[in-house]
Chains A and B, each alone.
Chain A
């Protein structure tokens, strides 16, 4: 059983926190990661910044561009993560980013470095399923990394089943139409019907709901239909202008799960 699967053995709803590597300061990555884990985040996604993050809203775009200005890149990130498992031994860590920086670094190099750092999974929203299967699956498996794929209200059932077969981690349920950090503007009942439809499929993997989850209330609501939920933009907002970014990260986690 891998670390991600172990996390889902707990008898509770899981809080998955996303933050951008190298934000607000270049060297904040590991201190924030440790603060999040110590404060009780169950899964952590480290955002690998990209200049043109198509699936992200303004908050994560902005944090990404600050991180890039700070000098964050793949080499710097893997340098920072070298001994991260000494500080954060058990919490599942995923890298979330876009395909182009990974391709330029080399997919094999990326997977090797990630595995060496103790990373458990990878989320690349613009990596097509077919390309993953034909070109990358073997590399991911060789390095013991699990892919996480997104599912949206428009994803067809047979495609959901296929995605479910391709991983042993979790399914990332995008809560509704929109990029990250947006508010839920769907009519009452629409989102619930979607979550229930997925729940009724009895899939192999647990589900985490993401996009538009921002606080204790929306977290708990999302958890009614899934094994947990993912928060990103709201945490980034909490870090913005904070004197002590790790303390702000910890306080944010406490505000959601207290």
Chain B
């Protein structure tokens, strides 16, 4: 038996006390099949050949590691941006969907379902389904469909069916509920492509491994550009936590690298309108995983808030819960207003309009305590095109 580490959960999917697979019996055969096969499939040379080829020729990897000189000058430290926004479809999400669609094909599945918050994962799923000629159904909260109209149109243009989730807060949590219910109703032909490091084991580990290419490339690029594979800081935003998992993955066992996870504080952590799970959550079960969860004293899951549709999830992936609990990562939360300021700053100083989710990570540069010789890598997880309507409404100029 392998010793569990940050990178490798136990056989039953635990990172410390977090993880597991709390699923109804209807999902057990599918999740168990995935659990038994995912490591073998991921390790298979033929799978790796196809995956790497698609990452290179279709996604456009490796993505650049860009030294942001004007941001660096502004904050008095060396800031590098990992340009996941340059991935095909405009965000890191496609790293995972490319891998999972290949996996789904190997499992003999013909129908793909997904949940989406900001729409980036939905677009990335619809994209690979078009590429592979597979049926695609994406569940999206009604509120998010309104907030992210261009992505709804993109998914439909790509041939996916977008089904509104109209229960609860009508956002990411509810879209995930509906996707899980769909999987319960279609247990034989369907693979569920979860978009984040959440859900029952093996999903958190599977998605983390498929996103790990981000930090794998960072190490090589840092060596080239700074003379060391290891930066002092790696910063990423966390909703469920997939881009953070990918950005942290190959630094998890290097304690000298400070990992910084940035959550959405919404109107303020204690305003009652927040999504800062690591502060407001306590251990509980959501979507099949034991993790830190925003809930009331009766164990009912509460509605998170963030202006960004990709960060308003009431839980975080079990890996991140463990990173928070063990203090391996530092968690900071950023308000809507500060994230919006960071949108303008990055646009004006670097000519890069970031996604609203990503802007939360950019907003902590003055809180890190980084010195002039320190290297700070920010995972620029997505581009801001999808958020233009929000930016216009917020009157950023």
Which parts of B20-63 form the interface with A (CB within 8 Å)?
20-26, 28-30
Determine if A54 and B301 form an interchain contact, defined as CB atoms under 8 angstroms apart: no
CA distance A177 to B187 in the complex (A): 7
**The residue from A50, A61, A152 contacting B187, defined by CB atoms under 8 A apart:** A152
The residue from A103, A130, A159, A182 contacting B284, defined by CB atoms under 8 A apart:
A103
Of A105, A128, A182, the most chain B CB neighbours within 10 A belong to A128
- Give the interface segment out of B67-75, B111-119, B137-145, B173-181: B173-181
A200 at interface, CB cutoff 8 A: no
What is the CA–CA distance of A61 and B166 in the complex, to the nearest angstrom?
12
Partner of B29, one of A57, A150, A156: A156
B346 at the interface (CB under 8 A from A): no
* A68 engages B300 (CB within 8 Å): yes
Let me know if A54 and B298 touch, CB within 8 A. no
**Cβ-based interface call for B226 (8 A):** no
Is residue A191 within 8 Å, beta carbon to beta carbon, of the partner chain?
no
- Identify B185's interface contact among A52, A61, A65, A179, CB under 8 A: A179
The complex places the Cα of A51 from the Cα of B177 at a distance, in Å, of 11
A104 at the interface (CB under 8 A from B): yes
Which of B26, B284, B288 counts the most A-chain CB atoms under 10 A from its CB?
A: B26
CB of B167 to closest CB in A, whole Å: 6
* Chain A residues within an 8 Å CB radius of B24: 54-55, 125-126, 150
Q: Give B29 Cβ to nearest chain A Cβ, in Å.
A: 4
- Give Cα A99 to B187, complex, Å: 22
Sorting the interface of chain A by its residue count into under 10, 10 to 19, 20 to 34 or 35 or more gives 35 or more
Q: Mark A115-129, 1 if CB is under 8 A from B, else 0.
A: 000000000011110
**Chain B residue nearest in CB terms to A57:** B181
A128 and B299 contact, Cβ closer than 8 Å, known pairs A55-B184, A100-B285, A179-B185: no
Is the C-beta of B168 less than 8 angstroms from some C-beta in chain A?
A: yes
Given A51-B301, A177-B187, the answer on whether A152 and B285 have CB atoms closer than 8 Å is no
Q: Which residues of B sit under 8 angstroms from A127, Cβ to Cβ? A: 22
Bound Cα distance from A244 to B285, whole angstroms: 36
Give bound CA distance, A50 to B185, whole Å: 20
Contact indicator A150/B185 (Cβ below 8 Å): no
Residues of B within 8 A of A156 (CB): 29
CB contact under 8 A between A54 and B285, given known A127-B22, A128-B21, A155-B28:
no
A141-177 interface bits toward B, Cβ cutoff 8 Å, 1 = contact, 0 = none: 0000000011110111001000000000000001001
Name A99-119 residues within 8 Å CB distance of B: 99-105
Give complex CA distance A61, B295 in Å.
18
Please, which residue of chain B has its CB at the minimum distance from the CB of A105? B299
B20, B167, B186, B297: the one within 8 Å of A128 (CB): B20
Would you call B184 and A51 a contact (CB within 8 A)? no
A88: Cβ under 8 A from any B Cβ: no
Q: How far apart are the CA atoms of A105 and B298 in the complex, in Å?
A: 7
Q: A52-B173, A100-B285, A182-B185 are in contact. Are A125 and B25 (CB under 8 A)?
A: yes
- Cβ of B105 within 8 Å of any chain A Cβ, yes or no, is no
Given A99-B285, A125-B24, A128-B22, A154 contacting B29 (CB threshold 8 A): yes
- B167 touching A130, Cβ below 8 Å: no
Which residue of B has the minimal Cβ distance to A125? B24
Residues from chain A with Cβ under 8 Å of B185 in the complex: 177-179, 182
Contact in complex: A54, B177 (CB < 8 Å): yes
Q: Is B286 an interface residue (CB 8 A)?
A: yes
A104-B298 contact given A54-B180, A99-B285, A179-B184, CB 8 Å threshold: yes
A131 at the interface (CB under 8 A from B): yes
Expressed in whole angstroms, the Cα–Cα distance for A100 and B21 within the complex equals 13
Interface check A247, CB cutoff 8 A: no
User: Is B12's beta carbon under 8 Å from chain A?
Assistant: yes
The smallest C-beta distance from B296 to any residue of chain A, in angstroms, reads 9
CA distance A57 to B285 in the complex (A): 19
Nearest opposing residue in chain B for A211, CB measure: B26
Contact with A along B142-162 (1 / 0, CB 8 A): 000000000000000000000
Knowing A101-B298, A155-B28, the reply to whether A52 touches B286 (Cβ < 8 A) is: yes
Q: Does A203 contact B (CB under 8 A)?
A: no
A73 within 8 A of B: yes
Decide if A128 touches B23 in the complex (CB within 8 Å).
Answer: yes
Contact status B301-A103, CB under 8 Å:
no
Docked Cα-Cα span, A230 to B260, in Å, equals 50
Bound CA–CA A32/B188 (angstroms): 38
Tell me the smallest distance from the CB of A5 to a CB of chain B, in Å: 22
- Whether A52 lies near B298 (C-beta < 8 A) is no
A84 interface hit (Cβ, 8 Å): no
A74 lies within 8 A of chain B by Cβ: yes
Minimum C-beta distance from A49 to chain B (A) = 8
Answer whether A174 and B26 are a contact pair too, CB < 8 Å, given A52-B168, A179-B185: yes
- The answer to whether B26 touches A99, judged by C-beta atoms less than 8 angstroms apart, is no
- Bound CA span A128–B290, Å: 12
Beyond A68-B300, A126-B285, is A174–B180 a contact (Cβ under 8 Å)? no
- Asked if B299 contacts A101 (CB within 8 A), the reply is yes
The listed residue (A57, A65, A100) touching B295 by CB distance below 8 A is A100
Residue from the set A52, A131, A152 with the largest chain B CB neighbour count within 10 Å:
A52
Most buried by B among A61, A179, A182: A179
CA distance A174 to B23 in the complex (A): 15
A-B contact pairs, 24 of them (CB 8 A): A51-B168, A52-B173, A52-B286, A54-B287, A55-B184, A74-B298, A100-B284, A100-B286, A100-B295, A103-B299, A104-B297, A105-B298, A105-B299, A128-B21, A150-B24, A150-B26, A151-B25, A152-B187, A154-B29, A155-B29, A177-B26, A177-B186, A179-B181, A179-B185
Q: Which residues of A contact B (CB under 8 A)?
A: 50-52, 54-55, 57-58, 61, 65, 68, 73-74, 98-105, 125-128, 130-131, 149-152, 154-156, 159, 174, 177-179, 182
> Apart from A57-B181, A99-B285, A177-B187, what are 15 other A-B pairs with CB-CB below 8 Å?
A58-B167, A61-B167, A74-B298, A104-B295, A126-B22, A126-B285, A128-B20, A128-B22, A131-B22, A150-B24, A152-B187, A154-B28, A155-B25, A177-B26, A177-B188
